[in-house]
Amino acid sequence: MKAYQRLILFLFISLNINFSFAENRLPTINPDHYSQEQQEAQKIFENARKTKIFGPFEPLLYSPQLMNEARSMGDYLRYHSAIGNTLSELTILVTSRFWTQDYEWYVHAPIALKKGISASTIEAIRQGQIPTNMNTEEQLVYQFTVELLNNKQVSNTTYSAIEKHFGKKGAVDLAGIVGYYSFLALEMNMAQYPLPKDGVSLPRFPENP
């Protein structure tokens, strides 16, 4: 082994760096090991969603009440918001790209495509670029979401355009979608929730110093 190879190996071991795999800090809990509170939360979840606990709700199950409160908010924001399901999926993609949340993107990119968001728009967002072929509604929602995530607020011009098009309820719901999927993204990033084997990680961009 050459000297520089030994140095790299030493640094790898001493710094405990894992370049390939992230440890799932909050592994999926075996149902046989559920606490009573988790069992009750599971029943509520499955009655509401008609499916087993999945995705971000797996790490959230470590806090059972939080999991179902989050599920309830998601039931509204994803399926019944004032901006509609197609534009909500666009918002989710911009949000998951902002937080570089692989699982969130893995789930929602195909849904966005089926809902009518163009493949070129999805790919531009994935690459961190501004899409160039969005319709008027998509442009409004994209601009609002990008401003809120990057600037932590939106300009008067952008807010007025959203309110004019979707109403005050639409503005509140749109900010709610950004906040909700940021919450899920941060929970999964914190937990190092794994991407399925057939998933492809989002490109990693340089972080600000």
**CATH number of the structural domain spanning residue 163:** 1.20.1290.10
134 domain-assigned: yes
User: Is residue 9 very low, low, confident or very high in pLDDT (cuts 50, 70, 90)?
Assistant: very low
Residue 131 near residue 141, CB atoms below 8 Å: no
User: Is residue 207 very low, low, confident or very high in pLDDT (cuts 50, 70, 90)?
Assistant: low
User: Is residue 1 very low, low, confident or very high in pLDDT (cuts 50, 70, 90)?
Assistant: low
Residue 152 near residue 175, CB atoms below 8 Å: no
Give the pLDDT confidence score for residue 164 in this predicted structure.
98
20 domain-assigned: no
46 domain-assigned: no
User: Is residue 86 very low, low, confident or very high in pLDDT (cuts 50, 70, 90)?
Assistant: very high
129 domain-assigned: yes
Is the pLDDT score of 12 beyond 60?
A: no
64 domain-assigned: no
- Residue pLDDT, tens place only, 168-201: 999 999 999 999 999 999 999 999 999 999 999 9
Q: How far apart are the C-alpha atoms of 50 and 29, rounded to whole Å?
A: 19
Quick one: average pLDDT of 100-118?
Answer: 98
Residues with Cβ within 8 Å of 179's Cβ and at least 6 positions away in sequence, in order, are none
Tokens of 129: 């670029």
- H/E element holding 95? helix 85-98
Give the pLDDT confidence score for residue 206 in this predicted structure.
74
182 domain-assigned: yes
153 domain-assigned: yes
Q: State whether residue 198 is helix, strand or coil.
A: coil
Average per-residue pLDDT in the chain?
A: 91
Domain count, the chain: 1
33 domain-assigned: no
- What range defines the domain where residue 141 resides? 77-191
- Residue pLDDT, tens place only, 138-175: 999 999 999 999 999 999 999 999 999 999 999 999 99
